[in-house]
A and B are shown apart, each in its own frame.
Chain A
């Protein structure tokens, strides 16, 4: 068993920042990550990092924009923390040598971004995430922080008290991908989940193959509530064959969207008569799919984004990287032909419920970054607000886990006092196929999360290891059955068909049925590759289990929320309904029978109350 004060799971922007902060507080910290740190998907971010740095801007304005962008579903204490801390954290990156783009006077450049009232987005060319990730990894090397890379964390070691609020996390169980060794990692002070996005729940996504939402699923099964899962951001311009993102910059420079008939549909069909192609992400995404639905899509799948009229000079000058992306990943020459684009899953606003210090309701368990929900983004994330979230909340979680006093959090976590229970009419029983306690394969599919009993931390981790060993063994021992890839792709297809940009009640119910069926089939899943060396078949099979739980959670939330807010659009419910829905959708795993409940949104800021207004741009 390995032992450290603080264990950070994941090495993207959030995980790296957390580890550095924990070490600065004097903790012995280690990172456990299924990818080498520089392979994390933070590296793919292009656009920038929002921070109110300059004269004429203020954290208050940034907070106001963020709250409005969230469609009044962000919690004020989290948003204000983000906006107050991000200037300091961005300058910290600069002090660590990050290669920001510069002004003539040598200061860090900022540019305008959608939904911002001030040009406050700092950036490093079109590769901001890459620069941020590498800069922080360099600091990790400098500090000699231990990294267990290519170790897949498969479960948390959490005690099994009745109420999750009384449980404690003592560490994690991880599988060394290279050697096949399964081992416990005991964390004396705390475990921080920083496992990133969950785009692989969908068939078409801008996220990496490794973004399978493992941390969210593990925390969920350990009893931590997950929040606002239905809010998924879809980006309107991703390449059809891979999901690679074509940045908003193309439309910003004057790129035009056409349907199969060559019509400029954003105007001609009145989707956005003022802003046209530059309307907000959700509006453009819906317009595109509507065109395809009406039979005006190309190959029944996508629309065209044309920039040829901008001329070769302007394109190569300002949008050179787009030419490369289109060529390398779609085989299309943007100077000669229009580029095919369609909406792709891009970002999960929801995630593991935390407070503004990154703490969950389970003692010693933290979450930060895209896997967490504090909630900063509410029902819709503004471009450039995810990267500051990584460094602000990554740092706070790391410091807090290492014992720093950050004051009492305003946001409460877990089920406390009188909370509102939700009711939902579902076509099938969600959750575990055979709930905990029943016979069968529950162990094999990792469903039984909280059976570790009590005892000292060491015992708890040891028992979690034994349980995971059984699970892996039973997957490896089966000689025949279903392969995870079939199950995964069926669920991804169903999610992209029914729980995508457009959500209709029947479709959502269909998705729940598909997921329930997939859960049944997962009982017979087996790992074909018998090897212990680099068995990606096994790793992906474990990930697929997580995809099932998250797909279901997203769909349950989407079905429950019968209103249209931010990124969540419901065919039958075309209005934002503040009287009823200024609250977060919460799901608790409840040992295999998910429980839906609600928690009010916090609009009360430090010295002002945010008034819900119509979100129009």
Chain B
């Protein structure tokens, strides 16, 4: 399934009673029912308390979080759960999710690791925009804060999306340095000018979060389009003077194919959402110009 459907969203204050219609594996189903019952009480209490606190205390934030689990009854239909999280200065959306999971519902699922915008795990759709959960201060957001998985990707569970397609596109551009020749000595480096390093610098900052791809209308409509992150990865090598002309030629050929740079319609959505401020659209435009120059050469 994809997040494009949640128009049918239902809001529940606490988890609704689980109905038992279609059995999964019998043991698994039994296990799930028991767990649902065992937790219903405790959970509802915790949430009621939190909601009450929210009423008389301004220092909580109200989150509406997308929930879905293909396996668990009651979660197979996508829905939104409400969480009221006590606010502390400096709190990010990721902090709030962690709090909600550890306090109210341990099945709330999202990827995260570094908490500092470097691992690229927690790109989410927050109040209608692709952002990293760990890099987004609650205080910058209107309430209720809506947290959804990245659009245009298949949802595996709750906020976790399938990243395979994104990885496939990244790896389709031969994303590795491949110099035409290397210095002889094992202690001798290739030379690179400061200007050239500066030129590729921004493009090397990509953390593979997938925010740009998710924001791109073209990529949404055409699964084959390489997408901004992969093209940026190719840019990183094509512009690196250490690689040599032949390699660059080859890279431009890849980028010029049907689903390469020419698909981009310069809408800038990728550039706007990139948490590492990479000028993606500019990089794509520059590659288009390179490609044109390149073709002229072979006329």
- Chain A bound to chain B: yes
Residues of A within 8 A of B66 (CB): none
Task: Give residues 304-360 of A contacting B (CB, 8 Å).
Answer: 325, 328-332
Q: Is B237 on the interface with A (CB-CB < 8 A)?
A: yes
Task: Give residues 186-210 of B contacting A (CB, 8 Å).
Answer: 186-194, 197, 200-201, 204-205, 207-208
Contact check, B156 vs A102: say whether CB atoms are below 8 A apart.
no
Contact check, B107 vs A331: say whether CB atoms are below 8 A apart.
no
Task: Give residues 163-196 of B contacting A (CB, 8 Å).
Answer: 163, 167, 171, 174-179, 182-183, 186-194
Q: Which residue of chain A has its CB nearest to the CB of B29?
A: A530
Known: A95-B190, A242-B90. A43 touches B118 (CB 8 A): yes
Q: Is B128 on the interface with A (CB-CB < 8 A)?
A: no
Which of A65-73, A127-135, A549-557, A572-580 is the contact stretch? A127-135
Contact check, B193 vs A102: say whether CB atoms are below 8 A apart.
yes
Task: Give residues 114-149 of B contacting A (CB, 8 Å).
Answer: 114-121, 134-135, 137, 139
Known: A91-B187, A531-B72. A40 touches B204 (CB 8 A): no
Known: A39-B120, A208-B113. A531 touches B157 (CB 8 A): yes
Residues of A within 8 A of B113 (CB): 35, 39, 41, 208-210
Q: Which of A91, A95, A106, A476 contacts B31 (CB 8 A)?
A: A476
Q: Is B91 on the interface with A (CB-CB < 8 A)?
A: yes
Contact check, B205 vs A130: say whether CB atoms are below 8 A apart.
yes
Contact check, A135 vs B177: say whether CB atoms are below 8 A apart.
yes
Q: Which of B175, B242, B243 contacts A141 (CB 8 A)?
A: B175
Interchain CA distance A36-B190 in the complex, whole Å: 30
Contact check, B38 vs A479: say whether CB atoms are below 8 A apart.
yes
Interchain CA distance A99-B201 in the complex, whole Å: 8
Binary B-proximity of A476-503 (CB < 8 A = 1, otherwise 0): 1101100111000100000000000000
Contact check, A43 vs B114: say whether CB atoms are below 8 A apart.
yes
Q: How far is the CB of B209 from chain A (nearest CB, A)?
A: 10
Binary B-proximity of A524-563 (CB < 8 A = 1, otherwise 0): 0001111111111100000000000000000000000000
Contact check, A241 vs B197: say whether CB atoms are below 8 A apart.
no
Q: Which residue of chain B has its CB nearest to the CB of A125?
A: B201
Contact check, B156 vs A244: say whether CB atoms are below 8 A apart.
no
Binary B-proximity of A94-129 (CB < 8 A = 1, otherwise 0): 111101111111111000000000000000010100
Q: Which residue of chain A has its CB nearest to the CB of B114?
A: A208
Interchain CA distance A127-B114 in the complex, whole Å: 14
Interchain CA distance A210-B119 in the complex, whole Å: 11
Interchain CA distance A527-B106 in the complex, whole Å: 8
Q: Is A4 on the interface with B (CB-CB < 8 A)?
A: no
Q: Which of B89, B102, B134, B176 contacts A97 (CB 8 A)?
A: B176
Q: Which of A40, A41, A108, A242 has the most CB of B within 10 A?
A: A242
Q: Is B112 on the interface with A (CB-CB < 8 A)?
A: yes
Residues of A within 8 A of B116 (CB): 44, 242, 244-245, 325, 329
Contact check, A483 vs B115: say whether CB atoms are below 8 A apart.
no
Contact check, B192 vs A102: say whether CB atoms are below 8 A apart.
yes
Binary B-proximity of A452-479 (CB < 8 A = 1, otherwise 0): 0000000000000000000000001101
Known: A99-B201, A107-B191. A477 touches B92 (CB 8 A): no
Interchain CA distance A483-B36 in the complex, whole Å: 15
Q: Is A280 on the interface with B (CB-CB < 8 A)?
A: no
Contact check, B28 vs A485: say whether CB atoms are below 8 A apart.
no
Q: How far is the CB of B96 from chain A (nearest CB, A)?
A: 12
Residues of A within 8 A of B44 (CB): none
Residues of B within 8 A of A96 (CB): 176-177
Q: How far is the CB of B236 from chain A (nearest CB, A)?
A: 8
Interchain CA distance A178-B156 in the complex, whole Å: 8
Q: Is A88 on the interface with B (CB-CB < 8 A)?
A: yes
Residues of A within 8 A of B178 (CB): 97, 142
Q: How far is the CB of A345 from chain B (nearest CB, A)?
A: 14
Interface SS majority for chain A: loop
Known: A43-B118, A328-B137, A531-B157. A131 touches B204 (CB 8 A): yes
Residues of B within 8 A of A105 (CB): 191
Q: Is A255 on the interface with B (CB-CB < 8 A)?
A: no
Q: Which residue of chain B has its CB nearest to the CB of A243?
A: B115
Contact check, B194 vs A104: say whether CB atoms are below 8 A apart.
yes
Q: How far is the CB of B197 from chain A (nearest CB, A)?
A: 5
Q: Which of A44, A178, A209, A527 has the most CB of B within 10 A?
A: A209
Q: Is A53 on the interface with B (CB-CB < 8 A)?
A: yes
Q: Is B293 on the interface with A (CB-CB < 8 A)?
A: no
Interface size class of chain B, counting residues whose CB lies under 8 Å from the partner chain: 35 or more
Q: Is A443 on the interface with B (CB-CB < 8 A)?
A: no
Residues of A within 8 A of B114 (CB): 39, 41, 43-44, 208-209
Q: Is A513 on the interface with B (CB-CB < 8 A)?
A: no
Q: Which of A99, A107, A331 contacts B137 (CB 8 A)?
A: A331
Contact check, A39 vs B106: say whether CB atoms are below 8 A apart.
no
Contact check, B187 vs A480: say whether CB atoms are below 8 A apart.
no
Binary A-proximity of B42-59 (CB < 8 A = 1, otherwise 0): 000000000000000000
Known: A528-B107, A534-B160. A43 touches B119 (CB 8 A): yes
Residues of B within 8 A of A102 (CB): 192-194, 197
Q: Is B88 on the interface with A (CB-CB < 8 A)?
A: yes
Contact check, A99 vs B200: say whether CB atoms are below 8 A apart.
yes
Q: Is B3 on the interface with A (CB-CB < 8 A)?
A: no
Q: How far is the CB of B147 from chain A (nearest CB, A)?
A: 16
Q: Is B14 on the interface with A (CB-CB < 8 A)?
A: no
Q: Is A38 on the interface with B (CB-CB < 8 A)?
A: yes
Contact check, A534 vs B119: say whether CB atoms are below 8 A apart.
no
Binary B-proximity of A133-157 (CB < 8 A = 1, otherwise 0): 0110011011000000000000000
Contact check, A242 vs B121: say whether CB atoms are below 8 A apart.
no
Q: Is A87 on the interface with B (CB-CB < 8 A)?
A: yes
Contact check, B190 vs A329: say whether CB atoms are below 8 A apart.
no
Residues of A within 8 A of B20 (CB): none
Q: Which residue of chain A has its CB nearest to the CB of B70?
A: A533
Residues of A within 8 A of B9 (CB): none
Q: How far is the CB of A447 from chain B (nearest CB, A)?
A: 23
Contact check, A94 vs B38: say whether CB atoms are below 8 A apart.
no
Residues of A within 8 A of B163 (CB): 36
Contact check, A127 vs B205: say whether CB atoms are below 8 A apart.
yes
Q: Which residue of chain A has its CB nearest to the CB of B200?
A: A99
Interchain CA distance A135-B176 in the complex, whole Å: 8
Residues of B within 8 A of A331 (CB): 89-90, 137, 139
Interchain CA distance A325-B134 in the complex, whole Å: 11
Known: A102-B197, A107-B191. A35 touches B28 (CB 8 A): no
Contact check, B204 vs A530: say whether CB atoms are below 8 A apart.
no
Residues of A within 8 A of B119 (CB): 35, 38-41, 43-44, 208
Residues of A within 8 A of B106 (CB): 483-485, 527-529, 537
Q: Which residue of chain B has its CB nearest to the CB of A536?
A: B109
Report the 9 A-B pairs with minimum CB-CB distance, sorted nearest first: A97-B177, A106-B191, A529-B107, A138-B176, A241-B90, A530-B32, A142-B176, A485-B102, A39-B119
Q: A242-B134, A244-B115, A529-B106 are in contact. List 9 more A-B contacts (CB 8 A).
A: A44-B114, A97-B237, A102-B197, A241-B88, A325-B116, A484-B106, A530-B28, A530-B31, A531-B107
Q: What would 17 A/B residue contacts be, using CB atoms closer than 8 Å?
A: A41-B119, A95-B190, A102-B193, A107-B189, A108-B189, A125-B201, A138-B175, A141-B171, A178-B156, A240-B90, A325-B116, A328-B92, A479-B31, A483-B106, A489-B102, A531-B72, A533-B70
Q: Which residues of A approach B to under 8 Å, CB–CB?
A: 35-36, 38-41, 43-44, 53, 87-88, 91-92, 94-97, 99-108, 125, 127, 130-131, 134-135, 138-139, 141-142, 178, 208-210, 239-245, 325, 328-332, 476-477, 479-480, 483-485, 489, 527-537
